[in-house]
Structure 1
Amino acid sequence: MTAEAGQDRHDDDPAPQPAVRTASLVKVFRKQRAVDGIDLTVPRGSVFGFLGPNGSGKTTTIRMLLGLSSATSGTIELLGRPMPAALHDVLPRVGALVEGPAFYPYLSGRANLQRFDAADPTSDPRTRRDRVATALERVGLTHAADKKAHAYSLGMKQRLGLANALLAPRDLLVLDEPTNGLDPQGTREVRNLIRSLADDGTTVFVSSHLLAEIEQVCTHAAVMRSGRLVAQGSLDELRATGGRTVTVRTPDVGAAGAVLARLGLAPRRDAGVDTLVADLPADVEPEAVTAALVRADVRVRGLSVGGGTLEDLFVALTGEGFDVAA
């Protein structure tokens, strides 16, 4: 690590430099702007979800971040260093799994990892065997370490790709659809692995179309649409921008409307004659609505809160459906 790389943060700095930062990043393929001027900021130490439908520019962005594809214009910083100028200094500190792993099919999983580790000029051959064994154990592949890679299932290949990314300590881990092909148990193990890496101080950047996974494991997220970044921030911030609504079913519609109005809400009739709906500001909790209705002797048949999820935000920003199943 260079002296400059080791000086990313000083004790008197108000905050560490972002793990990833782009400014006006553009990628043009012929006449198509696959990535259209995005300003992405990934906080150091976060688990960052990178969301968007197929064709939104997620993988193209990741390839530019890692120096696998050149940007048409704009700037990129990884771990506080400019890319691709500092590529050889930065990439040893970055692990990645992009567009599905590729292996030598007739070598075992263990032999594949040993070969990949040997290709790293910074790796110590004296500790290679132990590093490979540790990486295999972390992704749950010790039992299949000596099985030929061509006999691995898709989920096992994903695990082996993760093991390859973890052969050395990483400051940043970039994962493109890391749970692709995994069964529910494997998905849970990868989720726990990501959490443990974050607890150890690694910044984890996860591109995914599974909102349930992102909501369970990520601290921050960004949403891409048609090559543009349409939202980014902490999960709490994003949920708040998605907006919440409260729906009240009651035979006392008039009285309920008056209560909601006193709370600063703007109730409106829904399709049902006994139903009111109102937008719920961030500073008004559903429990306060319930308590106010009870104090006013309003008979409540049902009260529910909608919105405030990544799915709601995604639909509001893009107008598209999204796969929310894990």
Structure 2
Amino acid sequence: MSDHPHSDGLAIETLELTKRFGNQTVVNAVDLRVPRGAVYGFLGPNGSGKTTTIRMLLGLAGATSGRVRVLGEDMPSRLQQVLPRVGALVEGPAFYPFLSGSANLHRLDTADRFAPGRTRTARVAEALDRVGLSHAATKKVHAYSLGMKQRLGLANALLMPRDLLVLDEPTNGLDPQGTREVRNLVRSLAAGGATVFVSSHLLAEIEQVCTHAAVMSAGSLVASGTLDELRRVGQAFVRLRTPDVDIARGVLLRLGLAPTALDEQASATDVDAATGWTVSAPLTDRSVTPEGIVASLVAANVRVRGFVVDEASLEDRFVALTGEGFDVVQ
């Protein structure tokens, strides 16, 4: 895949990546392109193939067909060169229950032949601090809550500087405060130059921290791009509040839009009655700017008392793509 244009600017690249178990295809010809330095959201309902894809990216599972390239190297043939540059949290962390959090990290770091022993104690302490576990460093892991174990798994991924962080459902089991802390951690990792690949079924998690996203549904990649690109695919509407309904409709028609007058009894599916929007039009031509619409309305002496371009939400877009709902609250 190195002959693909601009592939050197990608942290992760796959070509027709496919995984079958018997007659069941769980990942179907997935083409991923994750730019270096991005916070990339890998979004889809539970069971959509996200974790299986991640396992193939990291060499934890073999692909039935297709190719994988991570940090500019072919996988899994270059596994030994790639994995030291990758931190990962996949399918929930596993630890020795009767060792403390700190002792677990020391043991895991010792197993990493690339990790310098002379800085181990300091790096373990720093990793625990970054995930908010300094207070529980000496507590046995069997006494940790699910959220604390998740934090410890994140700390393990941060023991060494990484070019790529792969986080599978990193806020699983965390309370709202812990979720916010993980978001801040992801932002700080990206600000430090790392690429962060975040798998989640939580829309809020993706919208608040990611620059790019891909949507999985039933094993297939159904959309990918920047968050703005994904939003723009959905339908947007111009909403207008004015007493000059007929004049406003004429202006919108001249601009190539197809307005609808909304009376005060308009249903909630058409308009939020509390806002009092009186005219609505689908923004089918994206070359018509909101500024241009307002200027045309004012030039026609339309009294504009409220104006908004109501973009389709990511939730609307993803549900349309997958036919399934997403958890949108935390």
Q: Same fold (TM over 0.5)?
A: yes
Residue by residue, what CA displacement relative to the aligned partner does 1:60-108 show, whole Å, maximum 9, x if unpaired?
Answer: 1001111111111000011111111111111111110011111111111
**Alignment pair present for 1:96 and 2:88:** yes
Say which of 314, 318, 322 aligns to 2:322. 318
| Structure 2 counterpart of 1:161 | 153
Residue by residue, what CA displacement relative to the aligned partner does 1:190-229 show, whole Å, maximum 9, x if unpaired?
Answer: 1111111111111000001121221111111111111111
Paired with 2:247 and 2:32, the residues of 1 have a C-alpha distance of 47
Q: Does structure 2 conserve the Cα–Cα contact (< 8 Å) formed by 1:253 and 1:276?
A: no
| Structure 2 counterpart of 1:272 | 266
Paired with 1:286 and 1:180, the residues of 2 have a C-alpha distance of 40
CA RMSD of aligned residues (A): 2.2
1:39 deviates by: 0.6
**Alignment pair present for 1:235 and 2:227:** yes
Unaligned 5+ runs, structure 1: 1-7
| Distance change (3 Å), C-alpha of 1:177 and 1:161 | same
Q: Percent identity?
A: 66
1:294 deviates by: 3.5
Paired with 1:294 and 1:152, the residues of 2 have a C-alpha distance of 62
| Structure 2 counterpart of 1:133 | 125
1:175 deviates by: 0.3
1:21 deviates by: 0.4
Residue by residue, what CA displacement relative to the aligned partner does 1:271-311 show, whole Å, maximum 9, x if unpaired?
Answer: 83954332254333434434433332335565443334322
| Structure 2 counterpart of 1:119 | 111
Letter of the 2:187 counterpart: R
Unaligned 5+ runs, structure 2: 268-277
| Structure 2 counterpart of 1:143 | 135
| Structure 2 counterpart of 1:57 | 49
SS at match of 1:19: strand
SS at match of 1:289: helix
Aligned ranges 1:1-326 → 2 under 5 Å? 16-268=8-260, 272=266, 274-299=278-303, 302-326=306-330
Q: Does structure 2 conserve the Cα–Cα contact (< 8 Å) formed by 1:242 and 1:316?
A: no
Letter of the 1:45 counterpart: G
Letter of the 2:181 counterpart: E
Residue by residue, what CA displacement relative to the aligned partner does 1:25-81 show, whole Å, maximum 9, x if unpaired?
Answer: 111112111111011000011100001111111111001111111111000011111
Letter of the 2:310 counterpart: G
Letter of the 1:48 counterpart: Y
Paired with 1:17 and 1:291, the residues of 2 have a C-alpha distance of 41
Paired with 1:67 and 1:171, the residues of 2 have a C-alpha distance of 17
Paired with 1:15 and 1:74, the residues of 2 have a C-alpha distance of 16
